[in-house]
Structure 1
Amino acid sequence: MNHRQLTFARELRGYSQTDLSSSIKGLSQSNLSKFEKGLSVLSEEVQKKIIDFLDFPISFFDRKITSSIENGNYRKRASVTKSDILKFENRCKILGYLIDEMSESIEWPDFNLSPLNVEEGYSPSYTANYNRKVLGLKKDEPINNICSLLEKHGIIIYEMNAYDKFDGISFFTDKGFTVIVVNKSFSNDRKRFTIAHELGHILLHNESNFPISSYRDEKTKEKEANEFASEFLMPANEIKNALRGITLSEVAKLKGYWLTSMASIIRRAKDLKCINDDRYTYFMIEMSRNGFNRKEPVEVPIDKPQCFKNGYLIFKNDLLFDDDDFVSSMSLPKDILNEIFYYDRIVNLKVLKN
């Protein structure tokens, strides 16, 4: 049994070392800890009990799931706990592992966007506009189908039923595929900004493309990714005139055109110095007074990610995989696969009795 895989399976199931050891006869927390560090061995009998308890295929423990989420980039709230991060990251690792495994049978789109080295003076705004050109967008054109547009250029986007403390994350699989995960439950304008924000991290902060100085801490990277996202979705030269002397009702109209939140448009007006700090504060007060800080008017559209879903459907419809085939091929439990491949799961409804 690969000790790292045991740790992964335990954490994915949500058990601490104490929880697992207390559930397995003949296993102490001390022995489990030493085994997970690679410092001791466990008997075959105890290993079998662990495998049965965690309900993983035995072949899973010979695999390696190591997608480098430690270099992932988040939009997250400050209240996120280590436990929440661990649960979220392990699900992302499963997603990355599946993308790599599926690449043995299908061809994911090639990544062909253009990272530019922020260390060499390419600003986030410049990189955003440069990649708008790569994507064939006109200067004054809003990004309508952001998911399909980016997926055609080699970014696999996935909507995850995540904790509400997470907006999204971007990372690279072991085989180098580029992934953006976005919270499925959030509003469309928030999803769109999150996707653009994570694209900023991919193009600005990937150390595989160029070294990133240590002074570029998380706060700096987040600020740069926000600048990228704002310029990518709302180019300054095209929106600036509309932001001068703007009213709250005009903000709502701009939301309908640029497909970004009212809050991000107001922030854009402040950053571009189209409104002063006092006017910005006024807008924020009015947004709160009208309840727009909880739910904004004007729902913007967003297209659904299709790349990973289409890959799953190829396995199911063309390669004729059933649930057992996925379990055997991917060495993962059926319940975890069903959670990731949620696309065609039927919701059971009950008939109400009079």
Structure 2
Amino acid sequence: MFSCEKLTELRELNGLSRKELAAQLNVSEQAVWQYENESTIPRIEVLNKVRELFSVDTKFLFSKTFLNQTASEERVAYRSKDRESRKKTKLELTYISYIDYYISFFEKFLITPDSAIAVLRNKATEMLRSDPDQSMDQSITQTANLARKFLKLQNNKDLMYTLEMSGIYIAEKNLGPEIDAYSTITDDGRPFIILGNIKKSAVRRNFDLAHELGHILLHTAIDMETLTKQEHKQIEQQANQFASVFLLPEEDFKRDFAELPRHSNPDYYIEMKRKYMVSLVALAYRAYQLGLMTYQENRYFFGQLHKKGYQILEPLDDQMPPIRPGRVKSLLQLIFDKQICSISDLESKFHIHPLFLTNLFGLDKDFFDHYMQQKKEYFDSAQVIPIRINERE
């Protein structure tokens, strides 16, 4: 029987409205609504378009859904200027449920280490509860310092790798122009950071990662769904402050900042940007926060920043490509290299094509090509042992 839930999941997984899916299938929006509500079954030509569009087999659409929603709307924290971006939450919950499901499937073949991020979250919670009278600024600083020390982060360029090794699952996908990233923790405690794949510099991606780490450590007990616009803005500012303290440790930063010839000229910050892997803006923000820049110096700094066009493209941005997530890619490589799972296994068990996983996890388009090559026949011309003919016959 046709599974209307599966069609809805595919649509939401790919961030499509019914109207947008209807346009791609060349049917009416009303027809899509009817498919998703079991009022009618799609014609064969429509089913074929769905298969091609989402890289699934027909059987996928005629099998029961295997998903349980593993995350909730109140736990999704967006790095976004626009509060209305939360309208996408339902779609992103479907995405989280899918990647969580497939990661769980692939990881069951392996022995995975204990999650360090779970230990860090507990330590951060205990520390914050131990002194409820301290200010939020103090709490943020304490938590950021604890996190950097616990994760043993020596160089910010290793942040992606460090977070993935700690047990955070990081993926990238098209989140649109309004959302930089978001984070959530599933019901069974698995933390995710989802990064937008719109071209960004390495330093901006680093800040996104640190910002979302701040949400994971500071805000997991907050219902994000019920926040007012002002409360949401405040939460975002707290995550920004966490990222600033986490990426720019006070003692090291002060020592390097003292060596700058002029505090008001963005060009003098370029080497610090190279060292700390943060933007010029983030460096100035941290300096002003620590009282190392006067109001006039800070104002002149940003005036020069706009004059030089650095608000659009900062120095080094085009020389420092963003680091991409690697944990899920490494997991899949291990599974397929060791032949624990094959392409045919995916197709027979899940009724999906390799491109489905490529799109789901933001992998390189040719990731599965190596595993799709036909195996050689056991005997070929190079393997046949020549037999000497008996000359007496």
Same topology, TM > 0.5: yes
Distance 2:195 2:82 in 1: 18
Higher deviation after alignment, 90-99 or 16-25: 16-25
AA of the residue aligned to 1:308: V
Asked if the contact 2:79/2:182 (under 8 Å) is kept, the reply is yes
Query: Is 1:315 equivalent to 2:340 in the alignment?
Result: no
Q: Give the match for residue 101 of structure 2.
A: 97
Distance 2:172 2:10 in 1: 22
Asked if the contact 2:35/2:42 (under 8 Å) is kept, the reply is no
Q: 1:328 to 1:309 in 2, by over 3 A?
A: same
Q: What percentage of aligned pairs have identical amino acids?
A: 22
Q: Give the match for residue 276 of structure 1.
A: 294
Distance 2:107 2:62 in 1: 19
Counterpart of 1:223 (choices 212, 237, 243) is: 237
Query: Is 1:11 equivalent to 2:31 in the alignment?
Result: no
Distance 1:315 1:59 in 2: 28
Q: What are the Cα deviations for residues 244-281 of structure 1, in whole angstroms up to 9, with x where unaligned? A: 65242321121111111111101111222222333222
User: 1:91: how far off?
Assistant: 4.0
* TM-score, normalised with respect to structure 2: 0.71
Distance 1:257 1:145 in 2: 12
Q: 1:46 to 1:252 in 2, by over 3 A?
A: closer
Counterpart of 1:170 (choices 183, 193, 200) is: 183
Secondary structure, aligned partner of 2:180: strand
Q: Give the match for residue 193 of structure 1.
A: 207
Asked if the contact 2:78/2:182 (under 8 Å) is kept, the reply is yes
Asked if the contact 1:129/1:235 (under 8 Å) is kept, the reply is yes
AA of the residue aligned to 1:220: Q
Asked if the contact 1:170/1:202 (under 8 Å) is kept, the reply is yes
Q: Give the match for residue 151 of structure 2.
A: 135
* TM-score, normalised with respect to structure 1: 0.78
Q: Give the match for residue 351 of structure 1.
A: none
How many equivalent pairs are there? Answer: 335
AA of the residue aligned to 2:244: S
Q: What are the Cα deviations for residues 57-79 of structure 1, in whole angstroms up to 9, with x where unaligned? A: 13664211523262221212429
Query: Is 1:267 equivalent to 2:281 in the alignment?
Result: no
Distance 2:305 2:100 in 1: 39
Asked if the contact 2:167/2:191 (under 8 Å) is kept, the reply is yes
Residues 28-107 of structure 1: pairs in structure 2 closer than 5 A: 35=37, 42=39, 45=41, 54-55=50-51, 56=56, 57-58=60-61, 61-68=64-71, 70=73, 71-78=75-82, 90-107=94-111
AA of the residue aligned to 2:250: A
Q: Which runs of 5+ in 2 are unaligned?
A: 370-393
Distance 1:310 1:188 in 2: 21
Distance 1:335 1:344 in 2: 8
Q: Which runs of 5+ in 1 are unaligned?
A: 36-40, 349-354
